[in-house]
């Protein structure tokens, strides 16, 4: 989509614009992708109800461009335009679908809330060596899971723990050392994207069994 095309049509009509989560699927190479046979959205600059979202999309694209060159927080630098963090998250997903690229290619990285501990060492993209083997404290899940390399572990399995309180109890009991060499990870309830990516990274790298310790809530979203 170029500037000339935008002026002539007065619209932003990406083929892969996301309306609802049920309309998208996940591809390991490109991230969110529009499912076939689903509806699309058209955002017009000559329609009063679409003016704000059109402005938000253009602003977000300009911010993402600057992120390629320097780090910046999107929402807190533009609170008046976006209104909430949820709006930013939704628009980033829209742009990811529209441009057919994963979020990481937009240089938009969410702060992780997940924690990980156990028989695991790895290197961050910037060269920082991370050791998760401490029995007294967990390590925050990386905000750039894709950049993790040189994973070393003798763990026999990975345990996904839904609740943070349960995770902390397992840490206190030195679970990973007493039972068997293993890795435990929590997303503190509903997991963030980075926690999910970390579980997938461990599976792709180690190919060891992965279990989940959850409550009886059938609507819980843990993996």
User: Looking at the annotation, which residues are catalytic?
Assistant: 76
Cα distance between residue 13 and residue 42, in whole Å: 4
Classify residue 199 by burial, with Cβ atoms within 10 Å: 0-12, 13-18, 19+: buried
Q: Report the candidate in 26, 49, 170 with the shortest Cα–Cα distance to residue 100.
A: 26
């Amino acid at each position: 989509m170029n500037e000339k095309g935008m002026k002539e049509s007065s619209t932003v009509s990406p083929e892969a614009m996301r309306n609802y989560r049920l309309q998208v699927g996940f591809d390991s190479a490109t991230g969110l992708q529009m499912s076939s046979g689903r509806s699309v959205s058209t955002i017009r600059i000559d329609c009063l109800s679409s003016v704000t979202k059109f402005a938000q999309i253009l602003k977000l694209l300009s911010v993402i461009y600057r992120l390629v060159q320097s780090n910046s927080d999107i929402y807190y630098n533009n609170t008046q335009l976006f209104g909430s963090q949820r709006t930013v998250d939704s628009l980033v997903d829209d742009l990811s679908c529209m441009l057919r690229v994963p979020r990481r290619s937009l240089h938009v990285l969410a702060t992780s809330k997940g924690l990980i501990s156990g028989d695991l060492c790895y290197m961050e993209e910037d060269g920082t060596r991370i050791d998760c083997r401490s029995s007294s404290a967990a390590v925050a899940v990386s905000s750039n899971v894709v950049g993790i390399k040189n994973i070393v572990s003798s763990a026999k399995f990975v345990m996904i723990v839904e609740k943070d309180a349960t995770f902390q109890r397992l840490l206190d009991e030195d679970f990973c050392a007493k039972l068997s060499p293993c890795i435990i990870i929590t997303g503190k309830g509903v997991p963030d994207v980075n926690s999910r990516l970390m579980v997938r990274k461990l599976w792709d790298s180690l190919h060891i069994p992965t279990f989940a310790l959850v409550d009886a809530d059938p609507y819980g979203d843990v993996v």
